[in-house]
Amino acid sequence: MAAITLIEADSATQSGKADLIFADPPFDLPGDVLAEILQRYDAPHLVLIATMRQILAFAPLSPWAFSFDFVLDGVMPKQSKSRQQPNYTHQTGAYFKKPEAKSAFDRYSRQRSDTFSAEPGYWPTIFHAPRQNVKAHGLAQSLLVITGILGSFTVRSVIDPFAGSGTTGMAAYDLGLDCLMIEKDSAHVATIKKLLRFVGFGATA
């Protein structure tokens, strides 16, 4: 059985080791700060769900090398306070890996559930990923989408430094992956603990 661990803490104060980091940071976290935080964690592979502004600032400071990008079509438009900015209906995803690491991505490892093609290995770069309304976390990523992304990588363990509503942990549980989740918001932590108890994990850090 996979080991699912939850730590209530600021990810900027923690560390850990896994095969892959799956990070969906707050959209207002500066890219340079994001780079400092993620470098605290030892993993050859990184999947980052972020704004393009964050990715552009993060990439030059990152020890991980860019491999490819994809898009999460969020359907629900994001509110914009500026007349000079559009209403974003998507998020950008990017796969990075350490230069010495062999790619862990395998588009044949899992059949995507968000596509209408039965063709083996069909992995289009757009995910139809409507966000779910969750009171404790505002908007949460779709479990099916995160499972589809994580399941496309040949890894055995994952770290989520910004656990939010716990979707990464639930996806890891479905895939049989060890998962370390870190979340600093106590309300979000309480929500994740309820989910863990529901699937049979009573103890968390």
* pLDDT score of 139 more than 50: no
| Confidence band, pLDDT 50/70/90 cuts, at residue 125 | confident
* pLDDT score of 63 more than 90: yes
The residue-averaged pLDDT of 200-205 equals 58
Q: Say if CB 115 and CB 122 are below 8 A apart.
A: yes
Percent of the chain with pLDDT over 70: 85
What's the fold here for domain 4-198? Rossmann fold (3.40.50)
Task: Tell me what pLDDT residue 137 has.
Answer: 42
In the structure encoding, which two tokens stand for residue 185, read together? 């918001």
Q: How far is CA 117 from CA 105, 114, 135, 158, in A?
A: 20, 9, 34, 28
Whether the predicted model's global pTM rises above the 0.75 cut: yes
